[in-house]
Chains A and B, each alone.
Chain A
Amino acid sequence: MSRLRHTAVFAWVLAIVIGISACSGSTSAVDAHGSEARHIAGLWWLMFGLAVGVYVVVGGFIIVAALRGRRGTPRRSRISQNMFITVGGVLVPALILLVLAVVTVTTTGALRKAGNNPVRIEVTGERWWWTVRYPDRQIVTANELHIPVGQPVAIGLESDNVVHSFWVPELAGKVDTIPGQRNVLRFTAEKAGTYLGVCAEFCGIQHAHMGFRVIAQSAGAFERWTTAHAEPPREPTSELAADGALRFQRLPCAGCHTVRGSQAHGTVGPDLTDFGSRATIGAGAVENDPSNLARWVRHAQSIKPGALMPNLTLSDDDVRALVSYLESLR
Chain B
Amino acid sequence: MATTQIRPASEELEELEEVWEDDPGIPGFFSTVDHKRIGKRYIYTCFIFFFVGGLIALAMRVQLATPNSTFLSADSYNELFTVHGTTMIFLFNTPVLAGFGNYLLPMMIGTRDMAFPRLNAFSYWVFVFAGIFFFSSFLIGSPPDGGWFAYTPLTTKPFSPGFNLDFWGLGVAFVGISTTVGAINFIVTTFKLRAPGMSLNRLPVYVWSMLVFSFMVIFAVPAVTVAAGLLELDRIFGTAFFAPGAGGSTLLYQHLFWFWGHPEVYILFVPATGMISMIIPVFSRRPIAGYLWIVTALVAIGFMSFGVWVHHMFATGMPALALSFFAAVSLLIAVPSGVQFFAWIATMWHGAVRFTTPMLFAIGFLLIFLLGGITGVMVAVLPFDWQATDSYFIVAHFHYVLNGAVVFPIFGALYFWLPKITGRMLNERLGRVSFWTMFVGFNVTFFPMHILGFLGMPRRVYTYSSGLGWDTLNLLISVGAFVFALGVLLTLINFVVSQRRGERAPDNPWNADSLEWATTSPPPDFNFEAIPVVASRHPLWDQQPLPVADSGPDDATQGFGFAGAHDHTTPITGGLRSVPEGTMRIPEPTVLPCVLAFGLAVFVVGLLAQALIVGVAGLVIGAVGLVWWAWRTGEH
Measured CB to CB, the residues of A under 8 A from B are 1, 11, 15, 18-19, 21-22, 24-30, 36-37, 39-40, 43-44, 47, 51, 54-55, 58-59, 61-62, 64-74, 77, 79, 81-82, 84-85, 87-90, 92-94, 96-97, 100-101, 103-105, 107-109, 111-112, 157, 161-163, 165, 167, 169-170, 172-176, 178-181, 183-184, 196, 198-208, 284, 305-306
Contacts and interface: CB of A to CB of B under 8 A. Distances in A.
Contact of A77 (B327, B349, B371, B385): B349
Contacts of B317: 157, 175-176, 178, 181, 183-184
Given A25-B455, A167-B458, A176-B315, A43 B383 contact: yes
Nearest to B465: A284
Given A47-B384, A179-B153, 17 more contacts: A21-B469, A40-B383, A59-B370, A64-B349, A68-B349, A85-B342, A100-B381, A107-B383, A111-B383, A167-B391, A174-B315, A175-B386, A178-B317, A200-B458, A202-B146, A207-B461, A284-B465
A66 B353 contact: yes
Interface in B375-410: 375, 377-378, 380-387, 389-391
9 contacts: A22-B450, A25-B469, A36-B383, A68-B353, A88-B338, A89-B340, A101-B328, A104-B331, A208-B464
Given A22-B455, A77-B349, A208 B462 contact: yes
A284 to B, nearest CB: 7
B159 A204 contact: yes
Contact of B153 (A44, A101, A109, A163): A163
Among B250, B251, B346, B464, residue most surrounded by chain A Cβ atoms (within 10 Å): B346
A161 B153 contact: yes
A179 B342 contact: no
Given A61-B345, A94-B335, A175-B317, A201 B363 contact: no
Interface string B285-306: 1100110010000000000000
Contacts, number: 291
A229 to B, nearest CB: 26
B214 interface: no
Given A112-B320, A199-B458, A207-B460, A40 B289 contact: no
A55 B453 CA distance: 20
Contacts of A206: 74
A30 B454 contact: yes
B484 to A, nearest CB: 15
Interface centre among B289, B347, B383, B451 (most CB of A within 10 A): B383
A90 B454 contact: no
B404 to A, nearest CB: 14
Interface string B341-378: 11101111111110100000001001100110011011
A198 B458 contact: yes
Given A43-B384, A107-B383, A58 B353 contact: no
B163 interface: no
Contacts of B331: 97, 100-101, 104
A55 B342 contact: no
A79 to B, nearest CB: 7
